[in-house]
Structure 1
Amino acid sequence: MTYTPRGGAPDVGVPADLAARMSVGEQHEWLTSYLRRHPVSRRTALRGGAGVVAAMGLASAPWTLTACAQATQAPVAVVGRHLAYGADPQRQMAFAGELTAAPPPGPLVVDLGRDSSFGTTLPVEVRRLVSQVPQADGAIRGSEQFFVHARADGLAPGERYRYRFRLPDGTTTAEADFTTAPGPGSTAPWSFTAFADQGVDTVPPGGRDEFANTYEADDTRRTMTPSTSLVDRVAAQRPAFHLLAGDICYADPSGHGLPERSDGGSGFDSFDPTVWTTYFGLIERSAASTPWMFATGNHDMEALYDDNHAPGGASHGYGGHAARLDLPRNGPSACPSVYTFRHGNVGVISLDANDLSTEIPTNAGYSGGSQTTWLRETLTALRADPGVDFVVTFFHHCAFATSESHASDAGVRAAVAPVFDEFAVDLVLQGHNHQYERTNPIRRGRSGAQAPDGATVRPETDGTTYVCVGSGGRPRYRWQPGESDRYRGNTGPDSGVSVASYVALGEDAKQPEQIDWSQARYLDYAYVTVDVAPPPFPGATTSLTVRATTDTGQEIDRVVLERRSRT
């Protein structure tokens, strides 16, 4: 059986022919054994250290380690700041960043307050992450990174706060601000944004051109740097929070198992953890003030870290995320990227589709069913909460989408669609397919109503709207043969709602299906904004307006989801 299909999970240095027959845990065991036979001491490795923002250079010796910085280099700084909500966004916020070198002696803290006088000091935890990646030429390429984390609790709902990181020598980061979620009964409108499959546009300073996005020759409806442009738009918009539905930075750019190239040219394919540094630097202009909430995709399963024991625990290739990220810890204990939070009258659920996928079975079934059990319990609680009108879920592999590359995943659809039908989930945000696509509201696998651009949907009776927003920056996919775009201003004769697609039953097993729900399609770069209009009084109408905007700023699709509030 193929556990890790080609392109299905990051290449972390296991030979491609072996990796294709291994689970994430088996890959980790192979790596551990290899590194035992090729030991690298920290002291000798650090002799070749370079700056943290440099990509890992080639080694003439059988190993090299990129250190965060030398003691004689510039003073230590905090870079790549990013926020995340705790389980209670009204009162909790997590602060994270990365040190440019090993932590200096003395306390690192976060200063926090209502204004620049601060008044509260939060302790900072430093999490060290060492990455050693075997290369095809026998070298070991590595890095040592230090991530800093702090948590605030007891904040006031709907309030603005300012913060900064402060190092032992008194140097600080620039000040940034954030706003907690509103308290019960707030009638002020607010918005959140979403996309997936982002990556980075730039080549890391070491010169790995495979990490920069490449595009089709006829790909002319975009900015020069889509990933960066979308972050700029989100930053300018300043949403309440941003959802990223998996495949975050692509530390492994293609997952094709290609060999190391000593000249650094085309054909390079090897896991580079310092791309995470580049990524956090890219999103900082937004994420330092807006919580970025992540789900995990197939390119986020990093076998290098399978036994990492960072706080909260991790397995199945998520140990690196435990060092880099802070996410709410209210999901199943075995699933670090499964969680829920409530913002205003919207309940949000993050799922891990790697646990459910039949197309890419690398991590399928790892939760032993605990995730789907938790999902039902969480939906039951949200629907019983009179203050929650809408339920939004986000995850990576699509339950409903069309494309030539992935389309719909049979395992994901079977696991979640009946439950979403039962609880009348309002909106589902997905990734994996590099495109924008919005369905009609779906119930029992079919369109419950027609919802063209500008339509109003009533999820309680019409069904669940599924949006694939894997259009966050990585090179676009293609539609099925004979199918084409369908979006505002572009509805040609061959761009109907009923199109040919398939359900992925396995890596190469596809079950064709003729579907009737593909309402809007755009094969370039876009993100979703969801504008929330809380009810002005109990029993009044409340709405989510879902808008798709391209990286060039053009709105191409819109639909309104309406409910009658219960409070």
Structure 2
Amino acid sequence: MTRTPRGEAPDVGVPAHLAEHMTVAEQHDWIAGFLRRHPVSRRSALRRGSGVVAAMGLASAPWTLAACASAASAPVSVVGRHLSFGDDPLRSMAMAGELTAPPQGRVVVDLGQNGSFGATLPVEVRRLVSQVPQADGSIRASDQYFVHALATGLQPGQGYDYRFRLADGTTTDTATFHTAPRQPTSPWSFTAFADQGVDMVPPSGLSGFTNAYYKPDDTRRTMTPSTSMVDRIAATRPAFHLLAGDICYADPSGEGEPVKSTGTSKSPSGFDSFDPTVWTTYFGLIERSAASTPWMFATGNHDMEALYDDNTARGALHGYGGHAARLDLPRTGPSACPSVYSMRYGNVGVISVDANDLSMEIPTNAGYSGGSQVAWLRQTLLQWRAAGSGIDFVVAFFHHCAYATSSTHASDAGVRAAVAPLFDEFSVDLALQGHNHQYERSNPIRAGRSTTQVPDGGTARPETDGTTYVCVGSGGRPRYSWQPGEVDRYRGNPAPQGDVNVVSYQAVGASAKVPDAVDWSQARYLDYAYVTVDVVPPPGPGQVTTMTLRTITDTGVEIDRVTLERRAR
């Protein structure tokens, strides 16, 4: 049985012909056995390393178990800062970054308001050791140090200044974040995309995501879509940003080939390699936004890193141990699911779903929660739709699509079967998905079919019309293609617009498909885009509140818009 189709999960050193039949836990067991047979000493790791834990040109030595042998000649810095809401967005914020070398003494966060720092927060240093088996029997190893601080007891709707301070007194630049307001009275916005990755070559020198990776006819874009969209989001300064899985692609090309390191800018033909320092590059890329705006992540198939399944210090399971070291996510979901959580901002409730637990197409982690995720999802939606909850709009974001029409992945039958009935029952307003590298918006869907036509500029009423499903896998990775005969359908498209009816499929296994007659594919764009969602709070009980989704390309052009409307409860 194929559990991990080639190229659809990070290649962390397990031979490809074995990995495709293994779960994440089984891959980790193989790696653990390999490492027992090939023990790595600090000295041999230094000899074998070929990259560095570095970012933005702050270091250039090999990424090794003491990568940080360069620390003696270079000052320690904190790079790649990123924020996440804590369990309560009204009163908590998590701050994180990465050290360019092992900590030399105590690290703290200075916290204050209006340019004055009146509080000092302790910083937790999380060490992440990566030992990646290579095709030639060697091991590439790195030692990374991530710093984390959690501010609690904050006041709702307030701005706070913070900076990391090292033992020698040096500090990062000051950044400012805002807690969620208790009840917003003015319009506010959040942004979203998925499948981002990085545009530049990772600091280790392995082959990364270069412009040559785009298709020759891929001309409606900036030179660096992933970076361009971060720049636009940073300028927008949304309340928060959602990323629906496949975050940085630490397996740079994602081809799932056997691993081999040459220490050059390219792996040899037919080889690939997991590179943990791509995460360093990634956090450096998003810092211009994420240092002041919470970036909230869901997990995708390229985020299942079997290398770290033994990192249980943070309760991580099923390949999420690396995320436990690098990221801070709210712990409001089921204990078995580290990347499943809920949060509230004003009259909007947001739920992160782990589609890896539900997928039929890529069953590597399917069923790992034992049903606890779906049970938790039902209970959360039940509470949010109860009288007096204060939540009008419900937004879910997850990776594998319940509804999409790409020729590569299309819809995942497992995800659809798990979430769509609940979304129908509890009138979920908006589902943001990734996995398919495209933008696609559905008409409102109930029971698998369009309930009404909502073209560009139209209005949907989710309480009666159903859920709008939007694929935003257009975050930067090379685009896919449509089903045969299907074409783009968006505002300003000079070509024929195509139809909402598409012959597509649902994936029911790693290579099994069943036909899917689609009548809901309202908007389609086969290049790079993100969405901005503008929320207008109700002026009072029973008054109209709206949530308008605007789709913006990496070149800054709006190509689609739809408004979701409710009466406040």
TM-score (norm 1): 0.96
Q: CA RMSD in A?
A: 1.9
Residue of 191, 194, 212 corresponding to 1:193: 191
User: 5 Å matches for 1:31-180?
Assistant: 31-42=31-42, 44-46=44-46, 51-53=52-54, 65=65, 67-105=67-105, 107-180=106-179
Q: 2-side partners of 1:300 and 1:242: how far apart?
A: 18
2:200/2:208 contact within 8 Å kept: no
Q: Take 1:51 and 1:10, find their aligned partners in 2: how far apart are those partners? A: 19
Alpha-carbon distance between aligned partners in 2 of 1:257 and 1:251, rounded to the nearest angstrom: 12
Q: Distance in 1 between matches of 2:500 and 2:373?
A: 33
1:411-466 per-position Cα deviation (integer Å, ceiling 9, x unaligned) = 00000000000000000000000000000000000001100000010000000000
Q: Is residue 345–residue 390 contact of structure 1 (8 Å, CA) maintained in 2?
A: yes
Cα distance, 1:115 vs structure 2: 2.1
Are the counterparts in 2 of residues 211 and 251 from structure 1 also a CA contact under 8 Å?
no
Separation (CA, whole Å) in 1 of partners of 2:39 and 2:48: 16
Residues in 2 aligned to 1:440 and 1:251: alpha-carbon distance in whole angstroms:
34
Runs of at least 5 residues in structure 1 that lack an aligned partner in the other structure: none
Query: In structure 2, what is the Cα distance between the partners aligned to 1:246 and 1:48?
Result: 32
**Distance of 1:143 and 1:409 partners within structure 2:** 35
Deviation at residue 69 of structure 1 after TM alignment? 4.6
**Correspondent of 2:274 among 271, 274, 279:** 271
Name the SS for the 2:72 alignment partner.
coil
Structure 2 SS opposite 1:209 = coil
1:418 aligns with 2:430: no
Corresponding position: 1:564 with 2:562 = no
Q: CA deviation at 1:53?
A: 1.9
One of 429, 432, 436 as aligned partner of 1:429: 432
Residue matched to 1:356: 358
- For residues 328-384 of structure 1, the C-alpha deviation after alignment (integer angstroms, 9 at most, x for no partner) is 001111100000000000000000000000000000000000000000000011112
- CA distance in structure 1 between the aligned counterparts of 2:181 and 2:90, rounded to whole angstroms: 6
In 2: Cα distance, 1:523 partner to 1:189 partner: 30
Contact 1:359–1:409 at 8 Å: present in 2 too? Answer: yes
Counterpart amino acid of residue 565 in structure 2: E
3-state SS, counterpart of residue 289 of structure 2: helix
- How many residues in Structure 1 have an aligned counterpart in Structure 2? 560
Shift of 1:211: 3.9
* Residues 52 and 66, structure 1, Cα contact 8 Å, conserved in 2: no
Against the structure 1 CA distance between its residues 57 and 289, is the aligned structure 2 distance closer, same or farther, given a 3 Å change threshold? closer
1:447-526 map, 5 Å: 447-490=450-493, 492-493=495-496, 495-526=498-529
Q: Deviations over 1:100-141 (max 9, x none)?
A: 000112x21111111221101100000000000011111211
Contact 2:52 2:204 in 1 (8 A): no
Q: Check conservation: 1:245, 1:394, Cα contact below 8 A.
A: yes
Q: CA deviation at 1:265?
A: 4.3
Q: Distance in 2 between matches of 1:308 and 1:147?
A: 14
Q: Partners of 1:366 and 1:120 in 2: how far apart?
A: 41
Alpha-carbon distance between aligned partners in 1 of 2:482 and 2:46, rounded to the nearest angstrom: 48
Deviates more, 1:511-520 or 1:295-304: 511-520
Residue by residue over 1:284-332, the C-alpha shift from the partner in whole angstroms, topping out at 9 and shown as x without a partner, is: 0000000000000000000000110232x11100000000000000111
* Mean CA deviation greater in 342-351 or 50-59: 50-59
Looking at structure 2, the residues matched to 57 and 77 of structure 1 have their Cα atoms a distance apart, in angstroms, of 14
Q: Distance in 2 between matches of 1:92 and 1:374?
A: 23
The residue type equivalent to 1:188 in the other structure is S
Q: CA deviation at 1:494?
A: 5.7
Structure 1 distance, partners of 2:217, 2:129, is 41
How far does residue 536 in structure 1 lie from its aligned partner after superposition?
Answer: 1.2
| Structure 2: distance between partners of 1:30 and 1:79 | 33
- In structure 1, what is the equivalent of residue 345 of structure 2? 343
- State the Cα deviation string for residues 41-86 of structure 1 (Å, max 9, x = none): 2355346776422799999xxx964614533121111000000001
Q: 1:176 to 1:206 in 2, by over 3 A?
A: same
CA separation of 1:266 and 1:218: change in aligned 2, threshold 3 A: farther
- What residue ranges of structure 2 are gaps of 5+ in the alignment? none
The CA deviation string for residues 204-254 of structure 1, in whole angstroms up to 9 with x for no partner, is 233322444610000000000000001000000000000000000000134
The alpha carbon displacement at 1:202 in A equals: 0.2
The answer to which of 355-364 and 483-492 deviates more is 483-492
Q: In structure 1, give the amino acid aligned to 2:353.
A: L
* Structure 2 contact 487–496 (Cα < 8 Å) conserved: no
In structure 2, the partner of 1:24 is: 24
| 2: CA distance, partners of 1:562 / 1:66 | 55
Which secondary structure state, in structure 1, belongs to the residue aligned with residue 324 of structure 2?
A: helix
Q: Which residue of 2 aligns with 1:7?
A: 7
Return the alpha-carbon distance in structure 2 between the equivalents of residues 137 and 373 of structure 1: 46
- The secondary structure found in structure 1 opposite 2:116 is coil
- Tell me, in whole angstroms, the C-alpha distance in 1 between the residues paired with 2:313 and 2:219: 44
Asked if 1:366 is matched to 2:365, the reply is no
Moved more, 364-373 or 254-263: 254-263
Distance 2:496 2:99 in 1: 55
Deviation of residue 256 (structure 1)? 2.7
Identify the residue that residue 207 of structure 1 maps to in structure 2. 205
Q: 1:121 to 1:70 in 2, by over 3 A?
A: same
Quick one: distance in 2 between partners of 1:212 and 1:152?
A: 38
Distance 1:161 1:241 in 2: 15
Letter of the 2:337 counterpart = C
Per mean C-alpha deviation after superposition, the further-off stretch among 32-41 and 402-411 is 32-41
Q: Give 1:188 deviation, angstroms.
A: 1.2
Change (3 A) 1:293 1:24: same
Cα distance, 1:492 vs structure 2: 4.8
Q: Distance in 2 between matches of 1:494 and 1:228?
A: 29
- The answer to whether the 8 A contact 1:51-1:67 is kept is yes
Length-normalised TM-score, structure 2:
0.95
Task: Say which is worse superposed, 391-400 or 212-221, in terms of deviation.
Answer: 212-221
Measure the CA separation in 1 of the matches of 2:282 and 2:352. 21
Letter in 1 for 2:468: T
> What SS does the corresponding residue of 2:285 show, helix, strand or coil?
helix
Aligned AA for 1:201?
D
Partner of 2:242: 243
Segment of structure 1 superposing worse, 222-231 or 111-120: 111-120
Q: 1:508 to 1:491 in 2, by over 3 A?
A: farther
Aligned identity (percent) is 74
Conserved in 1, the CA contact under 8 Å of 2:392 and 2:568? yes
